[in-house]
Amino acid sequence: MILIKPNFEILSIMNGKPFIEPLLLIEQAGRVCYKSEEAITSKSSKEFTRLRIKQGHESIIEHSAMTVKFICDRGVTHELVRHRLCAFSQESTRYVNYKGGCTFVIPPWVDIEEGEYQESLAPYKLQKDETSLLWFQTMQALEIDYQILINYGWSPQQARSVLPNSTKTEIVVTANFREWRHIFKLRCAKAAHPQMREIMIPLLEQCKELIPVIFDDITY
């Protein structure tokens, strides 16, 4: 059994590098609305985009997009795929066979190190935390159950019925900037699920560094 923490990787930001370029595309598209293309300069895209977002004219930021690969648990992806204006490609438990061992994502409220756990005994630090110990033992038991079912001839799509939300999955998400703003506002908020905030807040902070203006006003 392998236990990991969630993580993400930005695979692509539309219109290439450097990362300031998406703003140039947004300005070029947005100025068509006002027929003010002559006002474009080498430094105008930041302020133009900032003012349009402040005015609520967010349709223009749909002209650029970002693709992110998430490695997280299936409970998180159940929420992610509810965002309809996205493209999703997700690891399939119907076709992927985990007979060699399962990987589970450690919830932020379980204090345990990442790594491979082959022994039946739980780490010492869990011995004094009954609920975290229960989670650890449940993951061990479900991995064993899954492998037994596979060995008895069940297909992966049948055996997956015993896998929990904590099962690690990978999902690639592509959305335009306007939809990413919507995702961040919902999924970084205080009321969002802790595991969703665990991965979305760091992604938001990285986006603020890489893509000027677009996400600067989003707080959590």
Most confidently predicted of 23-32, 46-55, 65-74: 65-74
Residues 6+ apart with CB under 8 A from 121: none
Catalytic residue set: 187
Per the structure, the complete domain to which residue 75 belongs is given by 1-15+66-212
Nearest to 214 by CA among 21, 17, 16, 7: 21
On whether residue 36 sits in a domain, the answer given is: no
97-148 tens-digit pLDDT: 999 999 999 999 999 999 999 877 777 777 778 899 999 999 999 999 999 9
On whether residue 208 sits in a domain, the answer given is: yes
On whether residue 82 sits in a domain, the answer given is: yes
Q: How far apart are CA 168 and CA 2, in angstroms?
A: 10
Q: Are 86 and 179 a contacting pair, CB within 8 Å?
A: yes
Q: How far apart are CA 38 and CA 51, in angstroms?
A: 17
1-13 tens-digit pLDDT: 999 999 999 998 8
Residue 111's SS3 state is coil
Angle 175-210-53 from CA coordinates, rounded to 5°? 60
Check which CATH number belongs to the domain holding 5 and give it.
3.30.1360.170
On whether residue 199 sits in a domain, the answer given is: yes
Amino acid letter, residue 185? K
Q: How far apart are CA 166 and CA 6, in angstroms?
A: 11
Number of domain units in the chain: 1
Residue range 167-191: mean pLDDT, rounded: 98
Nearest to 183 by CA among 63, 86, 58, 70: 86
On whether residue 179 sits in a domain, the answer given is: yes
Which two structure tokens, joined as six digits, stand for 48? 């133009």
Model confidence, pTM: 0.91
On whether residue 52 sits in a domain, the answer given is: no
On whether residue 148 sits in a domain, the answer given is: yes
On whether residue 35 sits in a domain, the answer given is: no
